[in-house]
Amino acid sequence: MASEEAKTGKSMDAIMALCKRRGFIYQASEIYGGINGFWDYGPLGAQLKKNLRDAWWEDMIMRPCWGKNGPNGRPVRCVPLETRIIQHPKVWAASGHISGFNDPMVDDKETKQRFRADHLCGLYLREVASDGPPIGIQYQGFINDIREFRAGDPELTAVASTEGEALELLMPQLKKRFKGVDVSAHVEVEHDVQADIYIHDANQQRAWIAKLKMIPLALLKERIAYIKSPFSGKMGHLTDPRQFNLMFKTIVGATGTEDDTAYLRPETAQGVFVQFKNVVDTTRVKIPFGIGNTGTSFRNEVTPRNFTFRSREFEQAELEFFCHPDESFEWYKFWRDFRMDWWKSIGLAGDNLILREHEKDELSHYSVGTSDVEYRFPFTAPGFGELEGIAHRGCFDLTQHQQHSGAKMEYNDTERGEILPNGGRRGERYIPHCIEPAAGLDRGVLALICEAYSRDESRPSPEVMKFHPRIAPIKAAVFPLVAKEGMPEVADKLHAELSQRFWRQGAIEIDEKQSIGKRYARMDEAGCPYCFTIDGDTLTNQTVTVRDRDSGAQERIGIDKVAAFLTEKIGG
Ligand code: ATP
């Protein structure tokens, strides 16, 4: 049993096999051997992802926060926007992506394979506890032999191939070191390679004590000659680490040269910032309000991995919520809490979902708060991976675009400022602050798939996808028990009626092949919550059986009550 399976009860290999077999996710360009970091969605996956996107669109833009009032006591207001993948290159200079969106990477000189240098070289723990000698931790991503640079460094070491494994190895050592107190850690080894170490008191209050930090590039350069290549196994076979920009480049125009270089967007947010003024000037929105959009983003990730979790092409759903600086912290807390509730509402409730508030020293210089909604994927367990970041971005982005473009980004707030003799307000001009809940739809789909995946050995097919009815790609199935005696005709009629009524929410299937047990099993694997069977009794007393996917229990209801039953269960 793989260690991930032991920790979560779910095997990533089994989940990936089911995704392929049932048409949730395929490797892109598979018949040509695939292309690393790119994935396609099959019929079930495409509908699942659409349902997730639609749920986001409905609950963030059309009826924000389920109609709840914001911290100002008024309904939350958001409008949609659609902006392009390719923007003027100056957008990315202003946003900081051209200068700062980098990972250090090395190539194997012989095999030409490339990967992240920080994963290769390990990490250090900077101890902030006042007593005791400094602790060093090395996390080793790929190499199984770290003797070369162990001397003098770490008192704690872990040689592991995943973050979760590193954690497991480090924990007993940390516990030994901090005798008598409970120690836990949260590891995130992604763009910002870091891990937070906490201690807990008897009341489970936790205190942050230390952080793992990425090795600076200069130090990596010193060490690279002494590190064996994980590909050729030879020392001295790796190039110096170089900063590698994660943005994909392209050339615009048929006769374009390097001067016509443009970039594929690495996030959708910047398109919103550069259209902020147009939205304010051409609609009736008033601060506070949000602009939401969904769309594809691209990052030339050095090491795409963990199925779709770290892809090179992925879809984001981002809201930029603009407010007065004095109210921004309240809005930040509001959005942070709502986003957590939202992921719970579509089926990610329980211990596998956490909200992690960033520590002060993790924050960007302009931010007063950032939290991540994180999910315990089988490949991150016992740690978590980010699903969504909720960031207080201050006025950083609008100010940057004002400076780089010369366009004024100030908002004239006519509801503020001193009261004039005529009873009106003088108005106040300011650059709004922005709260950004930025979610990844592909990671969302992957989390929903991992959460839904369950096994019940007593069923004909033990794999059951327990999707929340709102996001399940198939909402219901209609089966004639046998393909004769008038049952197919009744099934066709019910199927047509349900399809007509529920097509907006997802597919309604009809299936008359194979035994009824096999048909239930197919629907269990697809995550269809309800199956309606037409049998001999239907022909005499106008009732059908409803089978519940999760319990397997069956009950009889009138055929004329099926639509109402489904409406109650899945909405619409
Ligand atoms: P990470 O640290 O995991 O690389 P990030 O903090 O850089 O993520 P953001 O820039 O905050 O991510 O992007 C918002 C969301 O977009 C993330 O929470 C994630 O769901 C999604 N996302 C980012 N990079 C990728 C990727 N390479 N593949 C799939 N989804 C991604």
Of the three residues 428, 451, 474, the one that is the final residue of a domain is 451
Q: How many CA atoms lie within 13 A of 102 on its CB side?
A: 14
User: Are 63 and 180 members of one domain?
Assistant: no
As a whole number of angstroms, the distance between CA 78 and CA 1 comes to 47
User: Are 480 and 522 members of one domain?
Assistant: yes
Report the CATH number at residue 384. Answer: 3.30.930.10
Would you say residue 46 lies in a domain?
A: yes
Residue 138 — left, alpha, or beta (φ > 0 → left; ψ -120 to 50 → alpha)? beta
In 3D space, the residue among 244, 238, 243 whose CA is nearest the CA of residue 222 turns out to be 238
Report the CATH number at residue 541. Answer: 3.40.50.800
Residues 6+ apart with CB under 8 A from 263: 86, 87, 89, 92, 97, 98, 247, 248, 249, 250
Q: How many CA atoms lie within 13 A of 89 on its CB side?
A: 14
Any atom of ligand 1 within 6 Å of the Cβ of 299: yes
Of the three residues 390, 418, 451, the one that is the final residue of a domain is 451
Taking the CA of residue 441 as reference, the ligand 1 atom at the shortest distance is: 20
Would you say residue 491 lies in a domain?
A: yes
Chain center to CA of 13? 20
User: Are 164 and 266 members of one domain?
Assistant: no
Chain center to CA of 200? 28
Please answer whether residues 167 and 187 qualify as being in contact, where contact means their C-beta atoms are separated by less than 8 angstroms: yes
The angle at the Cα of 206, spanning 202 to 211, to the nearest 5 degrees, equals 135
Taking the CA of residue 439 as reference, the ligand 1 atom at the shortest distance is: 15
pLDDT at 25: 98
Residue 37 C-alpha to ligand 1 middle, in angstroms? 14
Would you say residue 237 lies in a domain?
A: no
User: Are 165 and 187 members of one domain?
Assistant: yes
Would you say residue 230 lies in a domain?
A: no
Any atom of ligand 1 within 6 Å of the Cβ of 310: yes
pLDDT at 461: 83
Mutation choice for ligand 1 from 102, 443, 445, 449, CB with most ligand atoms inside 8 A = 443
Would you say residue 222 lies in a domain?
A: no
Any atom of ligand 1 within 6 Å of the Cβ of 374: no
As a whole number of angstroms, the distance between CA 466 and CA 448 comes to 9
User: Are 386 and 511 members of one domain?
Assistant: no
Would you say residue 522 lies in a domain?
A: yes
Residue 438 C-alpha to ligand 1 middle, in angstroms? 8
pLDDT in tens, the chain (572 residues): 444 555 567 899 999 999 999 999 999 999 999 999 999 999 999 999 999 999 999 999 999 999 999 999 999 999 999 999 999 999 999 998 887 666 667 777 777 776 666 555 444 333 333 343 333 333 333 322 222 222 233 344 444 444 555 556 666 666 665 565 566 655 544 433 455 555 555 555 555 545 444 444 555 566 666 666 766 767 778 787 777 788 999 999 888 787 889 999 999 999 999 999 999 999 999 999 999 999 999 999 877 888 999 999 999 999 999 999 999 999 999 999 999 999 999 999 889 999 998 876 566 666 778 999 999 999 888 788 999 999 999 999 999 999 999 999 999 999 998 898 888 899 999 999 999 999 999 999 999 999 999 999 888 789 999 999 999 999 999 999 988 888 999 999 999 999 999 988 889 999 999 899 999 999 999 999 999 999 999 999 999 999 999 999 999 999 999 999 999 998 76
The angle at the Cα of 171, spanning 168 to 174, to the nearest 5 degrees, equals 155
Residue 382 C-alpha to ligand 1 middle, in angstroms? 20
DSSP for 357-370? Answer: EPPGGGS-TT-S-E
User: Are 253 and 400 members of one domain?
Assistant: yes
Q: In the 8-state DSSP scheme, what is residue 65? A: G
Of the three residues 416, 451, 486, the one that is the final residue of a domain is 451
Any atom of ligand 1 within 6 Å of the Cβ of 316: yes
Would you say residue 342 lies in a domain?
A: yes
User: Are 256 and 388 members of one domain?
Assistant: yes
pLDDT at 423: 86
Domain tally, the chain: 3
Any atom of ligand 1 within 6 Å of the Cβ of 324: no
As a whole number of angstroms, the distance between CA 519 and CA 256 comes to 56
As a whole number of angstroms, the distance between CA 10 and CA 463 comes to 11
In 3D space, the residue among 388, 247, 248 whose CA is nearest the CA of residue 318 turns out to be 388
The angle at the Cα of 364, spanning 142 to 162, to the nearest 5 degrees, equals 15
pLDDT at 509: 94
Would you say residue 107 lies in a domain?
A: no
Tokens (6 digits) for 339: 């986003």
User: Are 276 and 410 members of one domain?
Assistant: yes
User: Are 447 and 468 members of one domain?
Assistant: no
Residue 419 C-alpha to ligand 1 middle, in angstroms? 45
Please answer whether residues 400 and 95 qualify as being in contact, where contact means their C-beta atoms are separated by less than 8 angstroms: yes
pLDDT at 382: 78
Any atom of ligand 1 within 6 Å of the Cβ of 314: yes
pLDDT at 140: 35
Give the pairing type, strands 474-480 and 507-510.
parallel
Q: Please, is 303 exposed, middle or buried when counting C-beta atoms within 10 Å of its C-beta (0-12, 13-18, 19+)?
A: middle
Tokens (6 digits) for 431: 């650059």
As a whole number of angstroms, the distance between CA 432 and CA 279 comes to 14
Residue 440 C-alpha to ligand 1 middle, in angstroms? 6
In 3D space, the residue among 274, 248, 323, 246 whose CA is nearest the CA of residue 83 turns out to be 274
> What is the pTM assigned to this prediction?
0.81
The neighbouring-strand residues paired with 196 are: 186, 211
Residue 208 CB neighbour total at 10 angstroms: 15
pLDDT at 176: 64
Domain hosting 128: range is 121-214
User: Are 131 and 184 members of one domain?
Assistant: yes
User: Are 377 and 481 members of one domain?
Assistant: no
User: Are 208 and 88 members of one domain?
Assistant: no
Mutation choice for ligand 1 from 386, 388, 393, CB with most ligand atoms inside 8 A = 386
Rg of the chain over Cα atoms, rounded to whole angstroms, equals 27
